[in-house]
Amino acid sequence: MHWFILKRLLIIPFLLLIFSVISFVLIQAPPGDFLTSYIAELAQGGTTIDQAQIDALRRQYGLDRPIYMQYLLWVGNLLQGDLGVSLEWRRANVELIGERLVLTLALTTASLIFTWAVAIPIGILSATRQYSALDYVFTVLNYIGLATPNFLLALVLMWIAFDRFGMTVTGLFSPEYAQAPWSWGRFVNLLQHLWLPMIVLGVAGTAQIARVVRANLLDELGKPYSEMARAKGLPEWKLVLKYPTRVAIAPVISTLGWYVPQLLSGGLVVSVVMSLPTIGPLLLRALIGQDMYLAGTIILIFCVLTVIGTLISDILLALLDPRIRMEGN
Amino acid sequence: MIAPPPAKGDAGSAVYVAPAWKMTWWRFRRHKLALVCLWVVGFITLIALMPEFFATQDPFATSARRAYIPPQTLQLTHEGRLTWPFVYGVEGQRDPRTLRMEWVADQETRYPLQLFVRGFPYRLFGLIPTDRHLLGFADTPPGATPNLLGTDRLGRDQWSRLMYGTRISLSIGLVAVAISTVLGILLGGISGYYGGLTDNLIQRLIELLQALPPIPIWLALSAALPRTWPVTWVYFAITVILALLGWTRLAREVRGRFLSLREEDFVVAARLVGASQGRIIFSHMVPSFTSHIIAAVTLAIPLMILNETFLSFLGLGLRPPAISWGVLLQEAQNLQSVVNAPWLLIPGLFVIVTVLTLNILGDGLRDAADPYSS
Amino acid sequence: MQQTPTVPEARAFAVRSRTDLGEPILSVRGLKTHFVMDEGTVRAVDGVSFDVHPGEVVGIVGESGCGKSVALKSVLRLIQKPGRIVAGEIMYRRPGRNGARPELELDLATLPPLGRRIRQIRGGDIALIPQEPMASFSPLHTIGDQIVEAIRLHDPMSVADARKLAIAKLREVGMPSPEQRFRAYSWQLSGGLRQRAIIAMALSCNPAILVADEPTTAIDVTTQAQVLQLLRVLQQEHGSAIVFITHDLGVIAQLADHVVVMYLGRVMEQGPVRSIFHTPRHPYTRALLQSVPSVHSEARVQLPTIAGGIPHPLYRPPGCPFHPRCPDAMPGTCDVRVPAMVDDGSGQPVACFLHHDVAEADDGA
């Protein structure tokens, strides 16, 4: 077990190195840099800026150094816990990202829990009652869930809430809590606002994972060990929950590897539509404004979150399956 | 299991052996829902092939005076009796307080729907000059052509824009999937056929790419596209960007097939009798998983369509004047515009139906290709 | 002429004769299990009757696809959709203590397949020894956990007591260091040990009947002999009856008292093991026996095989199912009517028009 986790942990620095390179390449890809678009913006507003000032700014932000030096500088600062400064906002990235990261995590985790809490029972019910009316209803809902872009679902729900109930269901806090420091009241307020984005974000994944559960459980229900348990005289529901479900859950847990990135991706779009103060809209703005270090840092944070998700799924899998646990012993 | 047709004549006569694709088609035909979806997809493809024919107006023509007209729905009854479909004309009245244009149906003017009418000129398939359109309303005063699905902010006809958007959205899905299929088959095939170090490297690369959150990466890449690029360049760049992360799933599928086929008796036999590698791959292995590839490709297209919708919706995909479903939905980006003009969400319905039918079709094909897999 | 195999005179265990075994503990009569699918109905078991007496070993033999496995699972009501028992009865008589009259008589075919009563019978009265011991243990649970579960399902006792009992059973089936194996997972054991663990689990509730689905196919030949030996020893100690199916006539000769020969879902012939081997009456039984190599057979002579192949399950031949491959088929009779199972008093009933002229009442149903 320890050996298994150790092995996974050892890969992480290597992965992060690759991800940091990818992030850096991505933010360097646009032609020009922040200053070019900044100057263009100023020029549009009628302000001109002389060459000396530009050079000064360029030096200040390290934009005059060779690319690899810029990368090393960026990574070096990151390693020391310095996330850099946003060129556009003229504020430390930590300040900008800080609370937004917490809210992103809250939204992602909530959606993940929602997905599992809904998808696993649906998958079990569908598989044990294969070809029943219930199974068909779930199948139809699944297809619709898969086909609906989450921003569309968000827009429709927001519209219904506004049109029918006169509610504006945007944001994650009521106005009085938006800028307030953390308190119990603010936390409760967050929960009151979180459920709708949580569902919107989780629907597509719920459909996918319910399918995974159903397909795997159907496979496992036909396996000899399920029949053996039946031949022992075990009641059907006990049997299903104890044996095949436990085996069929493993693929669900390993979906974390792609589901976390998918949640982060989807969260970005949902946040833009529902005006949620998460990292996503910040990234979108940073990308459009070529605020490179902010964008790069956020992309890297997304990658780190994915790596953490994969690690958690590996540990859960090891807890669940003795064959993985005993690997290497 | 499928029942072969009973052998005719005595027991010694030859039994008809159906080729794999025919067996797949037999099994597919029994999946009624998938068969229906095949028709729907066929129809959508038809629209994508000749959107001009289905459009009623020039989708690019703006008319500031006719902004935000609600859909002029087809009416089937008049004074309680069933009649040929028609629409009511609309009249705009400016609300004295909000100064917003309010459009109300004018029950007096009726425009009957007509088929194969003359309208704006276009070239069918880009070749044949014509001005015939499937639907239309003749005898309407200039500037009052009915809008079946309403108009947008600039007074453009949403029905016609939707038809044009179908071409771009569907083709972007197809082209992106085509690129990722080539990449996926190539890399997945190499990975599965050669195994060893090559396989290991490609598998790690796939894992790495799958661990990246796709939308932020796509956003970053499309943010890198110069704003000055013409529409077609952006179009191809976006397909390449989508394909860049999209090939991994197909590659895994192909690799899995290669791995299991490599051990199959008929492949081992071919190798033992000294068939060349190319022959083994292309005349023995590829035909036995073509149906799987077709199914996987069918399932990949809706994903690409959704992805394009996401990108364009966020403003980093296709840009106006290009028309795609995502670009159309961008008009409804916030609550305010949806509350003002809920019909701007209709393109979303098209997205859902297309993705839904493609998914069901793909599942039907997959089940037919491999009745034993789930 | 090919020398047919015989029941070895040096068989380790005496063959039991039915005369001293009393009333059957299990009587299967006219059992039909069909699978209704889109393509048609597969009549996997189509009118099977046999008896099992207390303490007797009944071997069902036939080629793969003859429906023997479905027949066995029908007894335990383990047939899954789209399969269904469409006719017949499965009468189970739970023996009373010390040979008293049966305390329970129950037609298993009428019970709801998920109900409480059939669940009590499963594992408690009739226990299954499955075909693949590897796949029949859950890979995520220890062997001990699964045996303890089986015990406590039928005999409410504390986990600690059940654990002691389970370890005792593991020891009884010859499992080395049973306390450690109790905590092992199935994939940590060798094939032979897994088979022993499965047998320990099946025996854990002292069932009246052990039902074994090809108990020796998944293990190698040397272990096979040990497992057969073990089964027979345990059977003699506990006095349980055993019903097992196999395609291996050698296993039949070693283990069975009574043999049922099946082909395409029907019983062709049955009788005491010696009669089946020495005086086979049905052409199918004869063909089956001739296709087995024997130490007495001449070297380098091709073994006779049964002509033709097994028909497609959806396209059963009319009349006697064996007639297209039968060397003695009588046109006009065998391809028209279905022969009934008739016992002419020899104790070796046979379904063949060569021996009688009685046809099945519901021909072609």
Interface confidence, given as ipTM, is: 0.83
Query: Where is the domain boundary, B152, B170, B197?
Result: B152
Residue A237 lies in a domain: yes
Residues A115 and A263 in one domain: yes
Query: Where is the domain boundary, B121, B152, B183?
Result: B152
Residue B199 lies in a domain: yes
CATH of the domain at A238: 1.10.3720.10
Residues B231 and B353 in one domain: yes
Residue A315 lies in a domain: no
**Beta-bridge partner residues of C40:** C37
Q: Tell me how far apart the alpha carbons of residues B97 and C277 are, in angstroms, rounded to a whole number.
A: 105
The whole-number pLDDT of residue B3 equals 42
Q: Tell me how far apart the alpha carbons of residues A163 and C39 are, in angstroms, rounded to a whole number.
A: 52
**CB within 8 Å: B1 and C39:** yes
The whole-number pLDDT of residue A329 equals 52
pLDDT digits (tens, 9 = 90+) for C62-90: 888 788 889 999 999 988 888 889 989 99
Q: Tell me how far apart the alpha carbons of residues B173 and B91 are, in angstroms, rounded to a whole number.
A: 40
Interface check for B339 against chain A (CB to CB < 8 A): the answer is: yes
In this structure, which amino acid lies at residue C292?
Answer: V
Start-to-end Cα distance in chain C: 40
Number of helical (H) and strand (E) elements in chain A, helices listed first:
16, 0
Query: Where is the domain boundary, A230, A262, A277?
Result: A277
Q: Sign of the C-alpha dihedral, residues B206, B209, B211, B213?
A: negative
What is the number of CB-based contacts under 8 A between chain B and chain C?
A: 12
Residues A157 and A234 in one domain: yes
Secondary structure, 3-state, C195-247? HHHHHHHHHCCCCCEEEEECCCCCCCHHHHHHHHHHHHHHHHHHCCEEEEEEC
Residues A270 and A135 in one domain: yes
Among B103-112, B175-184, C131-140, C170-179, where is mean pLDDT lowest?
B103-112
Interface check for B34 against chain A (CB to CB < 8 A): the answer is: no
DSSP classification of residue C79 = P
* Closest-CA residue to B351 (of A207, A158, A152, A270): A152
Q: What stretches of chain C show up as alpha helix (H) in DSSP?
A: 68-75, 116-124, 133-136, 143-154, 159-172, 178-182, 191-203, 221-238, 249-255, 273-278, 283-290
Strand ranges inside chain B, DSSP E: 75-78, 81-94, 101-112, 114-124, 128-136
Look up the pTM and report it.
0.82
| Tokens, residue C253 | 């000769």
- Cβ atoms within 10 Å of A210's Cβ, excluding its own: 27
What is the number of CB-based contacts under 8 A between chain A and chain B?
A: 130
Residue A316 lies in a domain: no
Residues A127 and A248 in one domain: yes
Residues A166 and A67 in one domain: no
Q: Sign of the C-alpha dihedral, residues C104, C110, C114, C115?
A: negative
When CB atoms are compared, the residue of C38, C315, C324 closest to B6 is C315
When CB atoms are compared, the residue of A224, A235, A246 closest to C140 is A246
Residue B83 lies in a domain: yes
Strand C57-61 versus strand C241-246 pairing type: parallel
Start-to-end Cα distance in chain A: 8
Residue of C nearest to A236 (CA): C114
**CB within 8 Å: C150 and A235:** no
Q: Cβ distance A20 to A78 under 8 Å? A: yes
Residues B250 and B216 in one domain: yes
**CB within 8 Å: A229 and C138:** yes
**CB within 8 Å: A147 and B335:** no
Residues B126 and B84 in one domain: yes
Mark which residues 223-252 of B lie under 8 Å from A by CB.
Answer: 223-224, 226
CATH of the domain at B241: 1.10.3720.10
Q: Cβ distance C99 to C108 under 8 Å? A: no
Q: Confidence band (pLDDT; 50, 70, 90) for C9?
A: low
In this structure, which amino acid lies at residue A177?
Answer: Y
Residue B346 lies in a domain: yes
Domain extent, residue B86, equals 67-152
What is the number of CB-based contacts under 8 A between chain A and chain C?
A: 69
Higher-confidence residue: C219 or B181?
Answer: B181
Residues B206 and B319 in one domain: yes
User: What is the full per-residue pLDDT of chain B (374 aa) written as tens digits?
Assistant: 344 444 443 444 445 666 667 777 777 777 888 889 999 999 999 998 888 888 888 888 887 778 788 888 877 877 778 888 887 877 778 777 877 778 887 777 778 878 788 878 888 887 888 888 888 877 777 777 788 888 888 888 888 899 999 998 999 889 999 999 888 888 888 887 777 888 888 888 888 888 788 888 888 888 888 778 888 888 888 888 888 888 888 888 888 877 777 777 888 888 888 888 778 877 777 777 777 788 788 888 898 898 889 888 888 888 888 888 988 888 888 788 888 888 888 899 999 999 999 988 888 888 787 655 43
Secondary structure, 3-state, B274-320? CCCHHHHHHHHHHHHHHHHHHHHHHHHHHHHHHHHHHHHHCCCCCCC
Best of C35, C41, C310, C315 to disrupt the B interface (most B CBs within 10 Å) is C315
Residues B147 and B169 in one domain: no
Mean residue pLDDT of chain C comes to 84
Residues A114 and A72 in one domain: no
| Tokens, residue B75 | 């009416």
Tell me what percent of the residues of chain C surpass a pLDDT of 90: 27
Residues A250 and A113 in one domain: yes
Residue A295 lies in a domain: no
Contacts of C37 in chain B (CB under 8 A): 1
Contacts of B211 in chain A (CB under 8 A): 15, 257-258, 261, 303, 306-307, 310
Q: Tell me how far apart the alpha carbons of residues C200 and C162 are, in angstroms, rounded to a whole number.
A: 13
Residue B348 lies in a domain: yes
When CB atoms are compared, the residue of B214, B313, B345 closest to A156 is B345
Q: Confidence band (pLDDT; 50, 70, 90) for C295?
A: low
Write down the residue that tokens 């506990």 correspond to. Answer: C238
Start-to-end Cα distance in chain B: 14
* Closest-CA residue to C303 (of C5, C7, C65): C5
**CB within 8 Å: B351 and A147:** yes
**Mean pLDDT of successive 10-residue segments in chain A (329 residues)?**
78 86 82 71 73 77 78 84 73 81 92 94 90 88 89 89 82 80 84 89 91 88 88 88 88 84 89 89 84 84 86 86 72
Q: Tell me how far apart the alpha carbons of residues C100 and A32 are, in angstroms, rounded to a whole number.
A: 98
Contacts of A229 in chain C (CB under 8 A): 138, 146
Q: Sign of the C-alpha dihedral, residues A131, A132, A134, A136?
A: positive
Residues B254 and B107 in one domain: no
When CB atoms are compared, the residue of C39, C308, C324 closest to B2 is C39
Query: Where is the domain boundary, B152, B187, B212?
Result: B152
Residue of B nearest to C312 (CA): B3
Q: How many domains does chain B have?
A: 2
Residues B132 and B185 in one domain: no
Determine the distance from the C-alpha atom of residue B113 to the mean position of all C-alpha atoms in its chain, rounded to a whole number.
Answer: 28
Residue B118 lies in a domain: yes
Residues B171 and B137 in one domain: no
Contacts of B191 (CB under 8 A, 6+ apart): B198, B199, B202, B203, B251, B255, B258
Q: How many domains does chain A have?
A: 2
**CB within 8 Å: C37 and B30:** no
Residues A122 and A50 in one domain: no
Q: Tell me how far apart the alpha carbons of residues B343 and A155 are, in angstroms, rounded to a whole number.
A: 12
Query: Where is the domain boundary, A246, A277, A308?
Result: A277
Q: Tell me how far apart the alpha carbons of residues B292 and B368 are, in angstroms, rounded to a whole number.
A: 9
Domain extent, residue A249, equals 105-277
Residue of A nearest to B312 (CA): A269
Half-sphere exposure of A291 (CA within 13 A, CB side): 23
Q: Cβ distance C130 to A227 under 8 Å? A: yes
Residue B178 lies in a domain: yes
Q: Identify residues of B whose CB sits under 8 angstroms from chain C CBs.
A: 1-4, 6, 11, 30
The SS3 assignment for C327 reads coil
**Beta-bridge partner residues of C242:** C57, C210
Write down the residue that tokens 């265990």 correspond to. Answer: C13
Burial of C324 (0-12, 13-18, 19+ CB in 10 A): middle
Q: Tell me how far apart the alpha carbons of residues A179 and A186 are, in angstroms, rounded to a whole number.
A: 10
Burial of C147 (0-12, 13-18, 19+ CB in 10 A): buried
Residue B41 lies in a domain: no
Interface check for B313 against chain A (CB to CB < 8 A): the answer is: yes
Q: Tell me how far apart the alpha carbons of residues C21 and B325 are, in angstroms, rounded to a whole number.
A: 81
Residue of B nearest to C310 (CA): B11
Q: Cβ distance A213 to A123 under 8 Å? A: yes
| Tokens, residue A262 | 């998918």
Residues A146 and A75 in one domain: no
Residue A301 lies in a domain: no
For residue B214, cis peptide bond before it (omega within 30 degrees of 0): no
Residues B172 and B146 in one domain: no
Q: Tell me how far apart the alpha carbons of residues C349 and C339 are, in angstroms, rounded to a whole number.
A: 12
The SS3 assignment for B358 reads helix
Residues B74 and B217 in one domain: no
**CB within 8 Å: A228 and C140:** no
Buried b (16+ CB within 10 A) or exposed e, C151-188: bbbbeeeeeeebbebbbebbebbbbeebeebbebbbee
Indicate left, alpha or beta for B126 from its phi (over 0: left) and psi (-120 to 50: alpha): left
Query: Where is the domain boundary, A277, A296, A312?
Result: A277
Q: Tell me how far apart the alpha carbons of residues C114 and C304 are, in angstroms, rounded to a whole number.
A: 46
Residues B189 and B263 in one domain: yes
**CB within 8 Å: C154 and A243:** no
Residues A129 and A210 in one domain: yes
* Closest-CA residue to B254 (of B201, B202, B196): B202
Q: Tell me how far apart the alpha carbons of residues B323 and B55 are, in angstroms, rounded to a whole number.
A: 13
**CB within 8 Å: C312 and B30:** no
Chains that touch A (3 or more CB pairs under 8 A): B, C
The whole-number pLDDT of residue A10 equals 85
Q: What are phi and psi of C92, to 5 degrees?
A: -110, 130
CA C154 to chain A, closest CA, distance in angstroms equals: 8
Residue B6 lies in a domain: no
Residues A55 and A146 in one domain: no
- Cβ atoms within 10 Å of C59's Cβ, excluding its own: 27
* Closest-CA residue to C218 (of C234, C185, C196): C196
Q: Cβ distance B158 to B343 under 8 Å? A: yes
Q: Tell me how far apart the alpha carbons of residues A17 and B372 are, in angstroms, rounded to a whole number.
A: 42
